[in-house]
Structure 1
């Protein structure tokens, strides 16, 4: 009967007719071995379809060549495109990616963090959206965030959100809007897109109108809540800056349902400018993030951290050395992509 268990290192050694030590040396490229021996081990590995146990490698102080990536969901265009680029850039460095969709649930994010740590990943990139998760502070792994402030010790790769907010508001005013509203997920000092929007309206002596629909709102409820928020102020506003493109698309749909012509009667600007949304809604005016560059910067920062950790002996006492702190990347430039909605 055919066995369904995974082949072991001992199986490889037996098939190749060599010792366990020899197989280990071949896998780790250590010590002198004849070409004939290397080929026999390689043939045995191919014949058995042997996969090295990465967790066992980690327990022996070796890299697992794996990275964890946590996002809300790859179904959202921004996070789908970000994930694609992160995975591609990590592969260029010889790493494989565990993609974890938190689905906006804090408990699921915690479970994924535990899973990634237990699988001994070499590092974590997080772009999930659950605030106040203290679990990250207890993880001693190389870590980078994308557009999320995890802590002062974790570098956050992001675009210039404040500039994006200013550009969007300025564009709406230049196009003739007299009372543009902001539709965003959370209002407050942490929301730099809101900050940029408010700066422009303050300079123009216009009272801001800030509407919120929580980021983690279930998909089935989101369109209805957006309609409710807009209906409450429909007589007072003539434009919307939505802080993501999917929300902007729903604003356009709302305007159409209310008999408002876009952009003649009502103007809309979005944010993100993903490839998927540009294809699906090419008329949308949006603020485009450099998503590929964000992914590349996050990967390079993480690879640097992994290299620094590997070069530091665990027995080396650094208590008398000044802390360098994380390398903090500068926010990346955004650009306006004009369409017919504003």
Structure 2
């Protein structure tokens, strides 16, 4: 028996008893059409299981109603929650998302960028954190927003107020009696605004900074050993840790428990992110909670502004804020 073919626009037109032009107008919501006609076309689409060819629409210069989202991996609580909030915020505007996990690899991020651009998505939100800057972002002339990452001059960056959050976390440790709080972070440097907040707080208290690093992309099974390798040599000199993400804070708590240190009496810990997943597992962790839903909404708002400007033939990033910072919230728990 011949296999049934994928329903086409012509099939929908025949089933609804209308012209191809009428079906196209219904799908694109253009021109005046009676409700009865719209209902007939909708019924035919449902009966046949017709799905518009988004790539073909893109090649004809039409919106695909799709946005690409690049993250390191949705397996990490922050990026999983961010992707979910972006999907929810975009759905309000009638857009769907394609989630791309770069897995911390620049080559994979390049491949996804090429894929998304070639498939003519309407915009891209990038929150990937790889080891190198990708010049390809500067060459992309389409709606584009970064989340907590400096991609290229002129590309909006929506993020938590990281420096203020780092200052609040470190200040809280000092207020709770810590005399030598250390920083545990992924990568030290001028771009690390949480580190800047930490250094500002300890500097103001006349305390020498102790900065420890465990790379963001360290495999999960190796992270505990890596954290221990950094903390063991300074165990007699530090009495607290501000970890710039909650998963690292969890590793610090395990390290302290394994060394017989009581938390918070002997050792205090503050994390950063405050995702729902980690709060369920470690409800007592003191952390700086990022406004993830608000970050997603602000990123989508910026993207929608760019999409509208592009449709009007204008520069999509001509009048947008370069950096949008949203305040985090210090949530005090039982680890301080």
Q: TM-score, normalised by structure 1?
A: 0.93
In structure 2, what is the Cα distance between the partners aligned to 1:279 and 1:198? 30
Deviation at 1:329, TM superposition (A): 4.2
Deviation at 1:253, TM superposition (A): 0.3
Alignment correspondent of 1:53: 53
**2:16–2:44 Cα contact (<8 Å) kept:** yes
Alignment correspondent of 2:268: 267
- Indicate whether 1:80 and 2:80 are aligned: yes
Larger displacement relative to structure 2 (243-252 or 100-109):
100-109
String of CA shifts for 1:44-64, please: whole Å, max 9, x gaps: 222210011112112222111
Deviation at 1:218, TM superposition (A): 1.5
String of CA shifts for 1:243-296, please: whole Å, max 9, x gaps: 000100110000000111111111101001111111110111111111111111
Question: Counterpart of 2:124 in 1: which secondary structure?
Answer: strand
Alignment correspondent of 1:339: 333
Alignment correspondent of 2:108: 108
What is the count of residue pairs matched by the alignment? Answer: 334
Larger displacement relative to structure 2 (156-165 or 20-29):
20-29
Deviation at 1:2, TM superposition (A): 5.8
Name the CA shift for 1:254/1:4 in 2 (closer, same or farther; >3 Å): farther
**2:156–2:324 Cα contact (<8 Å) kept:** no
Q: Which runs of 4+ in 1 moved over 6 A?
A: none
Larger displacement relative to structure 2 (234-243 or 27-36):
27-36
String of CA shifts for 1:177-234, please: whole Å, max 9, x gaps: 1111000000001001101111111122211110001111121221111111111211
**1:122–1:141 Cα contact (<8 Å) kept:** yes
Question: Counterpart of 2:221 in 1: which secondary structure?
Answer: coil
In structure 1, what is the Cα distance between the partners aligned to 2:53 and 2:324? 38
- Indicate whether 1:326 and 2:320 are aligned: yes
Pairing of 1:142-291 with structure 2 (within 5 A):
142-291=143-292
Q: Give structure 2 stretches of 5+ with no counterpart.
A: none
Question: Counterpart of 1:148 in 2: which secondary structure?
Answer: coil
String of CA shifts for 1:16-58, please: whole Å, max 9, x gaps: 3443333223322334555554444333222210011112112
Alignment correspondent of 1:308: 309
Name the CA shift for 1:32/1:245 in 2 (closer, same or farther; >3 Å): closer
Larger displacement relative to structure 2 (37-46 or 80-89):
37-46
Question: Counterpart of 2:325 in 1: which secondary structure?
Answer: coil
Q: Give structure 1 stretches of 5+ with no counterpart.
A: none
Larger displacement relative to structure 2 (300-309 or 103-112):
103-112
**2:72–2:129 Cα contact (<8 Å) kept:** yes
Deviation at 1:98, TM superposition (A): 0.8
**2:285–2:333 Cα contact (<8 Å) kept:** yes
Question: Counterpart of 2:82 in 1: which secondary structure?
Answer: helix
Deviation at 1:325, TM superposition (A): 4.6
**1:178–1:238 Cα contact (<8 Å) kept:** yes
